[in-house]
């Protein structure tokens, strides 16, 4: 704990991200004609790394509350605890990687300033979402994430694919946030409060049905943000059409933001005992969604011909794995904290390996080598380091033993089995085997296949240094999470256990 | 609390809100023009506002009313973003019909 600091210090990560976004806007306002691409990227990266450092400092020092526990601010509307800080660390890391990569990706774009500030503002919303303790804050923060995301997907205004993706993302997003909001209003109607703890303790006389419908609608909102069934169909379109750094941001950070809502809101506002006794068994709903999502994502990914679209479906599959964290819960289950903690650790690992994979695609787009598996043939001859990094991401995403992705998945499935959800863990294992097929197709194309023609790789004439650095850093983080997995999973399990 | 408002049972407000929400949802599912889509989503969000305001009165608690104001502001922001996206959509495809742009398969 850190004595003598006001409680609002606990919001430092979110405040730093907001200040960074405003600083970027200020630079662009003062010098609108100067394309200060490099300085913008540097300011953005420093800001998000400072937010990451603040998060790690708050976690390591036990926060700013006198007893080392959670800090409640603004009449309990915000609660900063380890769960929130853990997710903020994911958001800040992904933001830093994406901003650095954006420097090269938007090198020849006429106005890159908006990209940096929008990503930072979306990250601010995520950091706020991670500590939201009231449904009002949850909804406002969720919109703070969504609104910049719509613009980011449609960022390439002249590119028909990007505009179409932005429109589809906006349509599904606006619809699902309206459904989510109506769900909140029904929960308010049934309980008379928006603070999570008060919702849990409210007496519901005769309005159980209203509460149940409200909870189901809120599941819809979560499903959209996490790209899970039934609101998953925007994901392949949006990720494929969006600029690749934006796809990386959405599929890693924005997805994790959806999960923090699921993890905190559902366990705190609708405790397991109440859910079972009131017959609104949201754990069962999530279990069905998890099973369908992972199966659909993995099998659809297996038949794709374009690498980016394959990654989009694979990210749907991974949403299915992470949903096990809210699905495999039982009243007084022995492993409730463990399974949710393992899902959090998986999202952290996923944040690095998936961002890295999308950034490799960003690099391929920058080179202009094409989008399909066949276009990637023999890339390692011209880009050996990046190809090795991509192989690390692919094997880690598939969950092969020496990589961090294996451990997070192993802990997740093990905890699900401990809680009596053998079928869910078994389904996850089968899906992992399927996923190995399409992930290894990328590696095979990169290393084993010959280029279509000797001149096919001549497109690789630029050296995007910052993009390279981001990819390599993500690969290093994926590998380093291997020895560092102990502290990560311990922090995550402790944070998750505090919810039960 | 006025006498008229408090004499109406809360169920009626729920019914009204659900009806408005369903009208909005129907519009979302049937309209192909993206501007109609925006209006329909607006209806759905305002249906939620009816609930918030009505039950704020019912519980004698200001939270719902204040949050309704937040929602109005957020809905306006969403429309602003939406109009921007519709504008670039029109510039690229020359239409506001959501089914026309099909660069990628669904």
pLDDT tens, A291-348? 999 999 999 998 988 899 999 999 999 999 999 999 888 888 888 889 999 999 999 9
Q: Dig out the tokens for A383 from the structure.
A: 């880009």
Residues making up chain B, counted from first to last? 106
**Res B97 pLDDT > 90:** no
Q: Which residues of chain B make contact with A182, given a CB cutoff of 8 A? A: 17, 21, 44-45, 47-48, 51
Region for B60 from its dihedrals, namely left if φ exceeds 0, alpha if ψ lies in -120 to 50, beta otherwise: left
Mean pLDDT across A187-201: 90
pLDDT given for residue A487 in this prediction: 87
Mean pLDDT across A12-25: 93
**Chain B CB within 8 Å of residue A143 CB:** yes
**Which domains are seen in chain B, by residue range?**
32-98 (1.10.287.3510)
Confidence class for position A413, pLDDT limits 50, 70, 90 = very high
Contact B51/A186, CB-based, under 8 Å? yes
Give the CA diameter of chain A: 74
Chain B residue at shortest CA distance from A309: B104
Confidence class for position A371, pLDDT limits 50, 70, 90 = confident
> Taking the domains of chain A in order of start, what are their residue ranges?
281-500
pLDDT given for residue A348 in this prediction: 93
pLDDT given for residue A35 in this prediction: 67
pLDDT given for residue A466 in this prediction: 86
Mean pLDDT across A374-387: 86
Contact A166/B106, CB-based, under 8 Å? no
Contact A164/B98, CB-based, under 8 Å? no
Q: Which three-class secondary structure state does DSSP give residue A195? A: strand
Tell me the pLDDT tens digit for each residue of B30-85. 988 999 999 999 999 999 999 999 999 988 888 999 999 999 999 999 999 999 99
**Res A43 pLDDT > 50:** yes
**Res A138 pLDDT > 50:** yes
pLDDT given for residue A204 in this prediction: 75
Looking at per-residue confidence, does A200 or A125 come out higher? A125
Looking at per-residue confidence, does A56 or A64 come out higher? A56
Helices H / strands E in chain B, number of each: 4, 0
- Residue ranges of E strands in A68-107: 71-73, 78-80
Q: How much is the ipTM here? A: 0.94
pLDDT given for residue A39 in this prediction: 84
Chain B residue at shortest CA distance from A175: B41
Mean pLDDT across A431-460: 83
Tell me the pLDDT tens digit for each residue of A141-164. 999 999 999 999 999 888 888 999
Confidence class for position A81, pLDDT limits 50, 70, 90 = confident
Q: Which residues of chain B make contact with A210, given a CB cutoff of 8 A? A: 14
- Measured CA to CA, the distance from residue A149 to residue A192 in angstroms comes to 32
pLDDT given for residue A255 in this prediction: 92
CB pairs under 8 A between A and B: 123
Tell me the pLDDT tens digit for each residue of A215-262. 999 999 899 989 998 888 889 989 999 999 999 999 999 999 999 999
Q: What is the mean pLDDT of chain A?
A: 88
Contact B84/A167, CB-based, under 8 Å? no
pLDDT given for residue A1 in this prediction: 44
Q: Which residues of chain A make contact with B95, given a CB cutoff of 8 A? A: none
pLDDT given for residue B106 in this prediction: 43
**Res A63 pLDDT > 70:** no
Tell me: cis bond preceding A230? Omega within 30 of 0 counts.
yes
Q: Dig out the tokens for A414 from the structure.
A: 């093990």
Q: Dig out the tokens for A196 from the structure.
A: 């999570």
For residue B55, give how far its alpha carbon lies from the nearest alpha carbon of chain A (Å).
Answer: 6
Tokens 């905190």 -> residue: A264
Q: What percent of chain A has pLDDT over 90?
A: 49
For residue A295, give how far its alpha carbon lies from the nearest alpha carbon of chain B (Å).
Answer: 19
Contact A151/B88, CB-based, under 8 Å? no
Mean pLDDT across A44-55: 92
Angstrom CA distances, A361 to A95, A106, A436, stand at 17, 14, 19
Confidence class for position A355, pLDDT limits 50, 70, 90 = very high
Mean pLDDT across A463-474: 87
- Measured CA to CA, the distance from residue A244 to residue A251 in angstroms comes to 10
Tell me the pLDDT tens digit for each residue of A474-487. 999 988 888 888 88
Tell me the pLDDT tens digit for each residue of A242-252. 999 999 999 99
Would you say the pTM of this structure is higher than 0.90? Answer: yes
> Do the Cβ atoms of A102 and A233 come closer than 8 Å?
no
């Amino acid at each position: 704990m850190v004595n003598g600091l006001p409680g609002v210090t606990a919001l430092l990560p979110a405040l730093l991200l907001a200040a960074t976004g405003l600083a970027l806007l200020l630079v662009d306002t003062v010098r609108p004609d100067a394309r200060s691409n490099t300085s913008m990227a540097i300011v953005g990266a420093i800001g998000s790394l400072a937010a990451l450092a603040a998060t790690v400092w708050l976690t390591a020092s036990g926060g700013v509350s006198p007893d080392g526990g959670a800090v409640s601010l603004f009449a309990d509307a915000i609660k900063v605890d380890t769960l929130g800080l853990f997710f903020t660390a994911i958001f800040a890391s992904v933001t830093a990687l994406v901003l650095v990569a954006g420097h090269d990706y938007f090198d020849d774009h006429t106005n890159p300033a908006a990209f940096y500030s929008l990503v930072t503002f979306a990250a601010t919303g995520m950091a706020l979402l991670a500590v939201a303790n009231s449904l009002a804050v949850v909804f406002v923060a969720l919109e703070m994430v969504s609104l910049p995301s719509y613009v980011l997907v449609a960022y390439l205004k002249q590119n028909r694919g990007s505009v179409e993706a932005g429109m589809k993302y906006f349509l599904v997003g606006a619809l699902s946030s309206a459904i989510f909001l109506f769900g909140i209003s029904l929960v308010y109607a049934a309980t008379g409060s928006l603070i999570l703890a008060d919702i849990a303790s409210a007496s519901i006389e005769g309005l159980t049905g209203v509460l149940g419908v409200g909870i189901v609608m809120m599941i819809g909102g979560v499903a959209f943000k996490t790209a899970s069934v039934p609101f998953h169909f925007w994901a392949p379109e949006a990720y494929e059409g969006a600029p690749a750094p934006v796809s990386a941001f959405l599929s890693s950070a924005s997805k994790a933001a959806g999960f923090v809502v699921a993890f905190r809101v559902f366990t705190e506002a609708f405790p397991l005992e109440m859910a079972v006794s009131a017959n609104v068994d949201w754990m069962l709903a999530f279990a069905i969604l998890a099973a369908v999502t992972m199966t659909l994502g993995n099998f659809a990914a297996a038949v794709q011909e374009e690498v980016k679209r394959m990654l989009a479906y694979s990210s749907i599959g991974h949403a299915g794995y992470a949903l096990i964290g809210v699905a495999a819960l039982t009243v007084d289950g022995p492993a409730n904290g463990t399974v949710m903690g393992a899902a959090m650790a998986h999202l952290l690992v996923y944040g690095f390996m998936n961002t890295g994979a999308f950034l490799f695609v960003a690099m391929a787009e920058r080179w202009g080598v094409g989008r399909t598996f066949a276009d990637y043939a023999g890339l390692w001859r011209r880009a050996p380091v990046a190809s090795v990094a991509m192989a690390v991401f692919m094997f880690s995403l598939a969950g092969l033993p020496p990589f961090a992705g294996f451990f997070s998945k192993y802990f997740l499935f093990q905890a699900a089995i401990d809680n009596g959800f053998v079928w869910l863990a078994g389904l996850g294992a089968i899906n992992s085997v399927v996923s190995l097929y399409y992930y290894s197709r990328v590696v095979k194309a990169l290393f084993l296949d010959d280029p279509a023609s000797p001149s096919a790789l001549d497109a690789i004439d630029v050296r995007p240094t910052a993009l390279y650095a981001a990819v390599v850093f993500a690969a290093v983080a994926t590998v380093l999470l291997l020895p560092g997995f102990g502290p990560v999973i311990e922090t995550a399990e402790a944070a998750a256990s505090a919810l039960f | 609390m006025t006498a008229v408002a408090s004499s109406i049972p809360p169920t009626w407000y729920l019914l009204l809100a659900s009806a408005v929400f369903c009208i909005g949802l129907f519009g979302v599912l049937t309209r192909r023009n993206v501007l109609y889509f925006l209006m329909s989503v607006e209806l759905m969000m305002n249906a939620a506002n009816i609930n918030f305001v009505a039950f704020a009165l019912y519980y004698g608690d200001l939270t719902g009313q204040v949050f309704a104001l937040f929602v109005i502001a957020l809905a306006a922001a969403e429309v602003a973003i939406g109009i921007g996206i519709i504008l670039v959509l029109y510039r690229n495809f020359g239409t506001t019909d959501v089914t026309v742009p099909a660069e990628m398969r669904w």
